[in-house]
Amino acid sequence: MVTCTGPVNIAVIKYWGKRDEDLILPINSSLSVTLHQDQLKTTTTIACSRNFQQDRIWLNGKEEDISNPRLQSCLQEIRRFARKRRNTGGSTSDVSSVSHKVHICSVNNFPTAAGLASSASGYACLVYTLSQLFGVESEQLSAVARQGSGSACRSLYGGFVQWKLGERSDGKDSLAEQVGSESHWPELRVLVLVVSAEQKSVGSTSGMHTSVGTSQLLKYRADVVVPSRMEEMIRVIRQRDFPAFGELTMKDSNQFHAICLDTYPPIFYLNNISHRIISLVHRYNQYYGETRVAYTFDAGPNAVIYTLEDHLPEFVQVVRHFFPPEVNGAEFVKGLPVCSTELSEDLKRNINMEPTPKGIHYIISTKAGPGPCVVKDPNHHLLGADGLPKKSAISD
């Protein structure tokens, strides 16, 4: 039995569209920041035993269908690599266990389908835990995780991670690699503004499929825009140039949502609150005459804000002022503590927006963090000695 945790990643250059649906090969490269697992993570326990009758999986307390094709492809690939290692004598794990059935139990400490990249952390954690169980080399994991969920390959690394487009039709060169560690830019901070924890109306997989088939902007983005943006993004991250990083992040988010509108029929992931957050960020930056704060939105209405530590307390206060919360203090800002501060009347007057009470449910305050980790303490296993979920891993 092995337990691991895996992180969420938030793309600053977006992945949207596949050139191969089976292998999950993207039509463009992408780049993301891995968020710290102290605030957002998936925890997965996998056990294998000769006594198990079949492979089984429990997600957030509910047993799910193990025959899901993406899940199956991850299980088959890891078992194939494990057999290959066993046959070449390279494996240190119990060789007979590869043929045993597995029980998988996985929980997220955040809303699963709320546009918070739960499939990325989920599949990265699944594949990493399987690799620990069966003694599979880590350099093979990127391609396996990608077949579960494209962006999952980026969650296998900490810090700043690119997923390379690749050129081969078999996808062997469409892999993730780290471009900066989690300690590379210590002043960078991240806020997740949770606007809605509802499941999105159009899932990413079907949304991408429709965009590829109908959006002419998408092709232009993939062929013309992203290649130079990737180079520039890697350069500004290495130089820790926040204004350039922030501007590029916002432009790329806006272009992704423009492609959703260019899709036919159009897809709307942002809602009225999302638009107000965008407006607030631009007004705040305009007041200071520089990019101090940047937003990005994935396939959902929740905003992810990047800023530097020095500007964090004031911007959180700005959010609190223009989106007055129902709850106070720690209930509104979860995660890493944020100092409180007063806002100048001049700043409030210049932003000049009507407050929207209860528009934001809560904020998760976090930063860049490491890739998947093994949990050493056996008390933290989600499965009991009988191979079934412990009470704490089952929802009512």
What is the enclosing helix (H) or strand (E) of 188?
strand 188-194
Three-class DSSP category at 324: coil
Please tell me the pTM assigned to this model: 0.94
Query: Residue ranges of the chain with pLDDT lower than 50?
Result: 113, 396
The CATH T-level fold of domain 2-183+372-395 is: Ribosomal Protein S5; domain 2 (3.30.230)
Q: What is the pLDDT of residue 114?
A: 52
Cα-Cα-Cα-Cα dihedral of 255, 257, 262, 268, to 10°?
-170
Cα–Cα dist 105/59, whole Å: 6
Contact by Cβ (8 Å): 122, 149? yes
> What is the location of CATH 3.30.230.10 in the chain?
2-183+372-395
**Contact partners, residue 373, CB within 8 Å, separation at least 6:** 4, 5, 37
Cα–Cα dist 149/205, whole Å: 9
176-180 and 41-49: which strand pairing? Answer: unpaired
Task: Compute how many other C-beta atoms are within 10 angstroms of the C-beta atom of residue 225.
Answer: 16
DSSP state of 199: P
User: Of 8, 2, 3, 4, which Cα lies nearest the Cα of 121?
Assistant: 8
Contact by Cβ (8 Å): 30, 162? yes
Contact by Cβ (8 Å): 43, 107? yes
> What is the location of CATH 3.30.70.890 in the chain?
188-367
User: Of 276, 268, 4, 21, which Cα lies nearest the Cα of 129?
Assistant: 4
Identify residue 225 by its one-letter amino acid code. V
Contact by Cβ (8 Å): 115, 299? yes
User: Of 33, 12, 10, which Cα lies nearest the Cα of 253?
Assistant: 12
Cα–Cα dist 166/160, whole Å: 18
The CATH number of the structural domain formed by 188-367 is 3.30.70.890
Q: Dig out the tokens for 146 from the structure.
A: 């990608």
Q: What is the pLDDT of residue 200?
A: 66
